[in-house]
Amino acid sequence: MIKTFLSLISFTLFVYGSQQYLLVVADDFNATTAKLSVYESSRQVFKDIDVNLGKKGLGWGIGLHHFNHNPTEPLKYEGDKRAPAGIFKLTTAFGYKRDNNLTFPFLYLTDDTICVDDSNSHHYNEILYTKKRAHIKSFERMLREDGQYEYGIVVAHNPQQQKERGSCIFLHVQKAPHHPTVGCTSMKKGDIQKIIKWLDSKKDPIFIQVPKRYLPEVYKLYPELKGTNHPL
C-alpha cells in the first residue's frame, strides 16, 4: 500500500517555508477555466498556463490554511464536481512511464493502482497498489484509457480524510481545451510535463487555487508573490 497524502508536519514549514509555488487564479467560484502561474520564490518560471477547473467551478477545500470566507460560498464535497480552493501541499507526481531523473517523488501507475473515493473506507483519499478491491465500494482506476493520468501531480486536499469532503484531487492532462473536470485541475500535456520536471521536493512546492478576490490574503501569506501580474 502507498499512502499518498502525508500528515501536516508544520503550518509554518509548509506555508511560509515554500520556495516553489503553483498559483491558480479564477474569476470567481463559478469559473471553469483559469490561469496558472508558476514561481520559484518571486521569479516566474513559465508563461501563464491555461487550466480547466471543475464543471461546477470551485469550492473551499481542506488544506494548509483556512481562509476567512463568506459562509455562503461553496465548500468542496465528494462528487460535487468542484475543484478545491485553498492552499495545498503537492506530494507526488505520477504517470504511465517510469522517470528516474526527477527531483520530486514519482508514482508509476499500473493496472493495480487505484484511488479510493469511498468515504466509508479507512483507505478513503488514498492511492493503493492492490488487486483486492472487494471491500472497497468505490474507487478510481488510475491507469485510464483516455490518457488524462499519463502525467499528473497529487494535491494533498483533505489529508486527514474527513468523510465526504473530497478525494483523489490531482493536476493532470486535460481531456480537451476548455473541457472542465469533475473536481481536479487540468492542462495541456506539455505544460504538466515541464512542471513535473521542474518540481523539487527540497523546495516544498505548494499549490494555491483561489478566486481573485482572495489574492490579498494570499499576498499576506506570501509577500514574494505580491508583485506578480494578477489584477484584483
pLDDT in tens, 31-79: 999 999 999 999 999 999 999 999 999 999 999 999 999 999 999 999 9
What's the pLDDT at 150? Answer: 98
Regions of the chain where pLDDT drops below 70:
1-17, 227-232
User: Which amino acid makes up residue 85?
Assistant: A
The three grid cell numbers given for residue 66, joined into one nine-digit string: 483556512
pLDDT at 134: 73
The confidence score (pLDDT) of residue 18 equals 77
The predicted structure's pLDDT at residue 139? 95
Domain range summary for the chain, segments of one domain joined by +: 17-225
Does the domain at 17-225 match CATH 2.40.440.10? Answer given as yes
- Quote the pTM value: 0.90
Longest dimension (CA), the chain: 52
Could you tell me how far CA 8 lies from the centroid of its own chain? 16
pLDDT at 228: 62
Q: What is the pLDDT of residue 7?
A: 36
At residue 135, the pLDDT reads: 84
- pLDDT (tens digit, 9 = 90+) per residue, 116-132? 999 999 999 999 998 88
67 CB neighbour count, 10 Å cutoff:
16
The SS3 of residue 194 is: helix
195, containing H or E segment: helix 189-198
